[in-house]
Structure 1
Amino acid sequence: MKNSLIIALDFPNKQEVFQFLEPFADEKLFLKVGMELFYQEGPQIIHELKEREHQIFLDLKLHDIPNTVYGAMKGLARLGCDLVNVHAAGGKQMMTAALEGLEAGTLSGRRRSACIAVTQLTSTSEMQMQEEQLIGVSLQESVLHYASVAKEAGLDGVVCSSQEVVPIRERIGHEFLTVTPGIRLSSDSVGDQKRVATPELAREFGAAAIVVGRGITRAANPFESYQAYKQAWEGVRS
């Protein structure tokens, strides 16, 4: 899990997914399946990607009453994903229920999926958070609070921006996973993201993993772009 580059498969169907994956040949990847793809293709897309020996981050951001999240996670556990997530805003009881569901649904002899909590989306600015969510503290303090509650609930880590990695590590420790989207090369468009960082900066801050979507999936040559991100993330000079 640590030091992973996760590619966000933000595609509407599996045909586009497997077309995208063709240039990668037999390379084993860490792939994120989000709501757009999972809601169209269902569990079968997970099975097919797992058959190709890819690692999977199932990014459904569960946020509901504890009993519902327990049941949902119990079912998702059977898919054997490597990483799943919930929204930290659902609260400590909900996050604890998510873990209990994962443990109950994990097949005998298998390791349960790692579970992390979304803190504040990287598309959210501090002004948006304060005005629309009516959270009066700074964005960093909000993220740190959510991370602390996730840790208390027993979760393995959080989704946060690279800017929050250092204070999370200082408060909670280095073993607590920090998965960071909003990653762009210096030449990339920022798009709808607000809190972005380069792979080099994310590595310097100590992020456990980075998530890259359009910078790779919408590139003219996705495999070359993947290699550029990977080298930057791993600190390899070209």
Structure 2
Amino acid sequence: MTDWPPVDLTDAAAVAERRDAVVEAVRDHAGRIAYELALLEGGDYGRVEFETDGGTWTVKYEAGDLEFLLFDPDSGSEVYVVSTKRQPEPGALATALADYPAFVRAFNDHVRAAEEQLENAPTEFPEPASTEEAVNERRRVLDRVEEICDEIAGQLHRLEGGEYGTYESRIDGQRWELNWDRDGVSYLRIGGSDGVYLLSQYAPPEASDIRRYVPQFPAFVEAYNESVADRTETLSRVEF
């Protein structure tokens, strides 16, 4: 009678345990590489590829921690040496580990190249010009424009009533709009919804827009004055 079983079973659990121990060692080592890459690349997450004679290694990291380490050999199927999904097949793992030292050397070369690029980078720079004078001049001009627009807004509020409104006029072919509420001017805009805000509650206009439109502002004020004069004349003709 033939012995049964015919051969001894290989202890698969022992192989898996050995594989897991190897992967954990790689995870620790490659985790240091991921951390260093996060520092070097200057971001919380990213992925970097390293070429070796045996294939391509990809390191993906997030918040400085290793997400996965992928090896794509020049011949054969890619293998996730470290991942959050599943452990690698022992044969593929062995193939990858044979090339792992080359991957580490490629990482070291990557770091050295960065060092060399920064070695002679200058740290002496021209002194930046102050914006104080330009800002003060802008504020001086716009404060006067806003002061007049607030006065117009107050007069319109008194004349038309209500909580808000808009006065419009065309100056040199462009539409000027003064939007007001009971607190004063909300904005002064030239050119419609996609136009330039000479006054607004947000960012100030560009210096070039100030230079272009402020010289036209007196014409806008004159147009408003003429509008008020026309209304006054119209009302003066009313008889009881």
Normalising by structure 1, report the TM-score: 0.17
Q: Using CA pairs below 8 Å that are at least 6 residues apart, which structure has the higher relative contact order?
A: 1
More strand by share: 2
Normalising by structure 2, report the TM-score: 0.17
Q: Which has the larger radius of gyration?
A: 2
